[in-house]
Amino acid sequence: MTEILWVADPQSLESLIDDLSGAGSYALDTEFLTERTYWPRLALLQVAWAGGIAIVDPFAVDVAPFGAILGGGGTMVAHAADQDLAILERACGCGPTSLFDTQVAAGFCGYGTPSLATLVDKVLGTRLAKGDRLTDWTHRPLSTGERAYAAADVEHLLALRERLTAELDVAGRLTWALDECEERRARDRTRRDAEAAWWRMKGSRQMRGKSRGVAQKLAAWRERTAAAADLPPRFVLPDLALVGIVQRPPRTAEQLQAVRGLDGRHLRNGAAAEILSAIEEGLSLDPTDLRLPDAAPIDRSLGAAVTVVAAWLAQRASELDLDPALLATRFDISLLLSGVQSRVSTGWRAELVGEPINRLMRGDAVLALADRGRRLILEDRCR
């Protein structure tokens, strides 16, 4: 492995940024922890480029200046980048202007949804050294082995991109993969509205009457308090206590103290009064102010049709040697069959499967069994 540059001061970071400023592409990965914080805690930022490999220590230096590289003209190469992108937007103020996700690209090359180690082995014939997946990346100093293990996550990404791009080009799928990478890069990763946090509560869909208002206001209070204190929401108010309060809202401090799952640490520093205030707000919430989940306009009677089309899509994915998840989900299919625009309606998916499904819906095509029931075929309907 190339010598690993450890970046732990502003001057070293500035030098790294200078080295990367002219790079057409760079590999990037992050290590982070979420167990005891509301916001993912960035522990390492690993970068590789044609000139070397570096690990930035965000505990020793502010990584915000790295936003100049993300916002520059280079392409960020990463593997399963979704969480990395969310963390980079918070730590650096922006995400990359261009993304090549090797896991996404692998799906278009017939590799499924592989881990980085599996993909490096299959494509490059290189085995990544095994390390401890449970390493605490927040501890310092990191050992030489731990640094090498972290650096391995970016060491082969540029070579992977080159090989996968060549395979995609030969298969005529490069545009598909790049379009999918761009769609994922551009996704909105803002934190969900606090007033909608109650949707994630156990049993939220079965709630009725004033309990929904209490759930909305109390879960929103918990979400905002957790974000401000950078603590997991369950540390502010345990899930068990949240559900218990919604089911039987206490109106006094004595009643609140009797709620199962609550103890003194959850009620100190004015929290008890704030919880009771949120309960009162919820009980008096005007029904027009209740935030309900968006109801997807899906015709539930189409369940059988969705199942049949999903079976054909799975077979189609197999024939094309594509990861089935890249083609469409059952939800995508349901939207399309309900006459609602979905991702199957645009781009490469529309030509590949969207239009055939539309033909099926219009009655211009039919699905039939072939090869003694082993295969579904979509063919023109005989008039």
CATH code: domain 300-380 is 1.10.150.80
Strands of the chain, DSSP E: 4-7, 25-33, 41-49, 52-56, 75-78, 99-101, 365-370, 375-380
From residue 139, give the alpha-carbon distance in Å to each of 9, 32, 33, 146, 258: 17, 12, 11, 11, 39
Residues paired with residue 31 on neighbouring β-strands, in sequence order: 44
Q: Do domains 4-185 and 194-289 have the same CATH topology?
A: no
Res 301: pLDDT: 80
* Structure confidence by residue, pLDDT tens digits, 187-200: 988 777 999 999 99
Res 216: pLDDT: 97
Query: Three-class SS of residue 150?
Result: helix
From residue 36, give the alpha-carbon distance in Å to each of 40, 43, 92, 242: 9, 13, 21, 19
Tokens matching residue 209: 């009457």
Q: Angle at CA 348, nearest 5°, toward 342 and 353? A: 65
Entry pTM: 0.88
Write down the CATH superfamily of domain 194-289: HRDC domain (1.10.150.80)
Count of positions (residues) in the chain: 383
**CA-based nearest residue to 70, from 51, 91, 101:** 91
Q: Which segments in the chain show pLDDT lower than 70? A: 1, 131-133, 294-298, 383
CATH code: domain 4-185 is 3.30.420.10
Residues near 20 by beta carbon (within 8 Å), at least 6 away in sequence: 26, 47, 49, 69, 74
Residues near 179 by beta carbon (within 8 Å), at least 6 away in sequence: 347, 348
Res 161: pLDDT: 98
Tell me if 101 sits within 8 A of 79, measured CB to CB. Answer: yes
- Strands 365-370 and 375-380, by their bridges, are antiparallel
- CA torsion sign for 45, 48, 51, 53 is positive
377: left (phi over 0), alpha (psi -120 to 50) or beta: beta
Tokens matching residue 79: 């593997």
Tokens matching residue 264: 């003194």
Domain residue ranges in the chain:
4-185, 194-289, 300-380
